[in-house]
Amino acid sequence: MTESATSTDHGHEVPSYDDINTPVILLVGVISALVTLLTIMFVQGLCYHWQNNYLEKRTNEVENLPAVVQINQQKEELAGNDKIVSIDDAMKKVVATYGKPSSE
C-alpha cells in the first residue's frame, strides 16, 4: 500500500486548506513587527518633540511672579522714585560729607 503526502493513515486525503503557508505567515509577522516598531518610534519622537516645546515655552515664561514684582519694586526704589534718593546720589552725598579731603 502506497500512501501519498496528502493522505492520512485511514486513507482519507487531507484538504489543501489545512496546510499552513509558512512563508506568508513569516512575511506577515516580519512586516507587522516592522510596522509596530516604526509606530513606537514615531510616537516616542512625537512625545519628545511635545515635551521639548513645553519646556521651551516654560523657560520663556515668568515662573515666580510675586518675586518678579518684588524685584521690580526694589529696582524702582534704587532708581529714586518719589521722595527716595537714588543710591548713586546718596553715595555721592555721603562721600562729599564724610570723605577725606584729597588735598592733604
Q: Which helix (H) or strand (E) holds 54?
A: helix 22-60
- Distance (Å, rounded) from C-alpha 49 to C-alpha 47? 5
pLDDT digits (tens, 9 = 90+) for 27-69: 999 999 999 999 999 999 999 999 888 877 766 666 667 888 8
Nearest alpha-carbon partner for 91 in 101, 104, 80: 80
pLDDT digits (tens, 9 = 90+) for 82-103: 677 778 888 888 898 888 766 5
Phi, psi of 79 (to 5 degrees): -75, -20
- For 14, residues 6+ apart whose C-beta sits below 8 A from its C-beta are 6, 7, 8
Which pTM does this prediction carry?
A: 0.40
